[in-house]
């Protein structure tokens, strides 16, 4: 039945949004791959060591993670500002207009990890994809999408990689959108010896609501 849903229905039902492969031209992916290689040399370590799940006022949940990050350059900026992406973000979430507010490259070395968390409260939709092939899936708990953050934290009870999660495939050079500020998600420690490179792009509805 999934194939018959509109993007908006899919978002409401499943908290995800597909970006068609043809939405982003191949040439831009080539530029991004080259840019990521340059950025990796100067990426900085992000290592949040504070144990446990920290409930934030904006509804997000912060938890330990380790990887290296870089905000990207012209190529990633062009992807974040791609009209097709903004249109998909708006179509899925029902917002009039979506603005990319945060994006970057993430470099995972063997052993790097991301404990279960909820994204920043301003992220109305989070897109992710890989730049390396055969990425391990992200895991998520869509059934917790509509629970208050305090309830999510209480139910997870500090577990960094909760039981009962489902796979969310991360595709190479093809973005997938998800409701990252509501649906708890995580990545278990990477065991791929060659490492992984990912992109994340968060969009926000910045329009003023009465």
Q: Which residues bind Fe ion (CB under 5 A)?
A: 119, 180
- Short-list 127, 106, 92, CA closest to 45: 106
Residue 25 beta carbon to Fe ion: minimum distance, rounded to whole angstroms: 27
Residue 202 beta carbon to Fe ion: minimum distance, rounded to whole angstroms: 9
Signed CA dihedral, 5, 8, 11, 13: sign only: negative
Residue 117 beta carbon to Fe ion: minimum distance, rounded to whole angstroms: 6
- Short-list 110, 107, 33, CA closest to 68: 107
Q: What is the distance, to the nearest Å, from the Cα of residue 159 to the centroid of all Cα atoms in its chain?
A: 20
Residue 6 beta carbon to Fe ion: minimum distance, rounded to whole angstroms: 25
Q: Phi/psi zone of residue 111: left (φ > 0), alpha (ψ -120 to 50 degrees), beta? A: left
Q: Whose CB is nearest to Fe ion?
A: 119
Instruction: Closer to Fe ion by CB, 179 or 205: give it.
Output: 179
Instruction: Closer to Fe ion by CB, 112 or 119: give it.
Output: 119
Q: Kindly give, in sequence order, each residue whose CB lies less than 8 Å from that of residue 170, ignoring residues fewer than 6 positions away.
A: 128, 129, 130, 135, 136, 137, 138, 176, 198
Q: Regarding beta strands 176-178 and 44-48, do their DSSP bridges make them parallel or antiparallel, or are they unpaired?
A: unpaired
Residue 138 beta carbon to Fe ion: minimum distance, rounded to whole angstroms: 8
Instruction: Closer to Fe ion by CB, 34 or 45: give it.
Output: 45
Q: 3-class SS at 173? A: coil
Q: Please say whether the beta carbons of 105 and 34 come within 8 A.
A: no
Residue 103 beta carbon to Fe ion: minimum distance, rounded to whole angstroms: 12
Instruction: Closer to Fe ion by CB, 67 or 95: give it.
Output: 67
Instruction: Closer to Fe ion by CB, 83 or 143: give it.
Output: 143
Instruction: Closer to Fe ion by CB, 119 or 179: give it.
Output: 119
């Amino acid at each position: 039945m999934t194939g018959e849903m509109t993007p908006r229905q899919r978002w409401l039902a499943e908290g995800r949004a597909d970006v068609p492969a043809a939405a982003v031209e191949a040439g831009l992916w080539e530029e991004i791959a080259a840019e990521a290689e340059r950025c990796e040399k100067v990426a900085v370590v992000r290592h949040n060591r504070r144990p446990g799940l920290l409930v934030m006022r904006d509804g997000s949940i912060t938890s330990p993670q380790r990887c290296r990050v870089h905000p990207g350059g012209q190529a990633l900026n062009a992807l974040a500002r791609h009209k097709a992406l903004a249109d998909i973000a708006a179509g899925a979430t029902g917002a009039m207009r979506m603005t990319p507010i945060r994006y970057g490259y993430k470099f995972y070395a063997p052993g790097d990890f991301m404990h279960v968390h909820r994204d920043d409260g301003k992220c109305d939709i989070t897109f992710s994809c890989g730049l390396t092939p055969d990425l391990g899936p992200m895991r998520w708990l869509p059934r917790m999408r509509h629970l208050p953050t305090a309830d999510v934290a209480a139910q997870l009870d500090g577990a960094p990689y909760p039981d009962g999660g489902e796979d969310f495939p991360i595709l190479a050079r093809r973005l997938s959108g998800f409701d990252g500020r509501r649906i708890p998600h995580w990545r278990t420690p990477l065991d791929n010896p060659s490492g992984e490179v990912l992109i994340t792009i968060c969009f926000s509805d910045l329009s003023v609501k009465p």
